Chains A and B, each alone.
Chain A
Amino acid sequence: GQSLEQPSEVTAVEGAIVQINCTYQTSGFYGLSWYQQHDGGAPTFLSYNALDGLEETGRFSSFLSRSDSYGYLLLQELQMKDSASYFCAVRDLGSGYSTLTFGKGTMLLVSP
């Protein structure tokens, strides 16, 4: 089975940098994804790491260490609109088909 751990809540101020950590235990691992969900909205894709290292997309970066079963999402130059829940998700390829198992999510609160 899969289990993921991420903090339930993180707070920060506008303009700051915040890091959301994710550790996982899996029976099969092919990659780590990050999704953003605003209150009342749908999850939307942010990033995906299949290999160790850092992936950068604008203000957001995502890191993976497969040997440590650990990843993080880094958000820079925080804006009020970044207040949302952030989910890490492990990609599994059981039976040859790709599925995601999501963590419980981290609520990010950005204050002025």
Chain B
Amino acid sequence: DAGVIQSPRHEVTEMGQEVTLRCKPISGHNSLFWYRQTMMRGLELLIYFNNNVPIDDSGMPEDRFSAKMPNASFSTLKIQPSEPRDSAVYFCASSLRDRKDNEQFFGPGTRLTVL
């Protein structure tokens, strides 16, 4: 299996622009998670889906952030408009909901820089 795939790997944009991050989970996994990692705040859960349905988006920082999962093999995280404080590494992770050890498989991340 190719693992969790994220694109782009790096994104540099200007404040006010729309940013769309993409994720393809591991085939057969039914849970998908979006995280944001910064030095100050660490690894934060933004939103998670189960069977393509958003379960909890309480970690989404503002209305500027939105996420979708139109099917089992694709999810997007959108920031509109972007701001410099959104600069971070964004990880997507997937897992099997009933897996005993609760292992989450992380993608390589998207490093976002908002100027």
Contact = CB atoms under 8 A, between A and B. Distances in A.
Interface in B43-59: 43-45, 48, 50, 55-56
Interface in B75-108: 91, 93, 95, 97, 100-108
Given A95-B55, A97-B56, A99-B33, A42 B106 contact: yes
What is the interface residue range for chain A against chain B? 20 to 34
B91 A97 contact: no
Interface string A45-77: 100101000000000000000000000000000
Contacts of B97: 97-98
Interface residues of B, number: 24
Given A43-B91, A45-B104, A101-B45, A95 B109 contact: no
Contacts of B56: 94-95, 97, 99
A97 B55 CA distance: 8
Contacts of A104: 42
A105 B42 CA distance: 8
**Most chain A beta-carbon contacts within 10 A, residue among B42, B50, B97:** B42
B42 A102 contact: yes
Contacts of B102: 31, 33, 48, 91, 98, 100
B91 A42 contact: yes
Contacts of B45: 99-101
Interface in A26-46: 31, 33, 41-45
Those 6 A-B pairs whose CB atoms lie nearest each other, nearest first: A42-B106, A48-B101, A102-B43, A45-B103, A104-B42, A43-B106
A101 B42 CA distance: 10
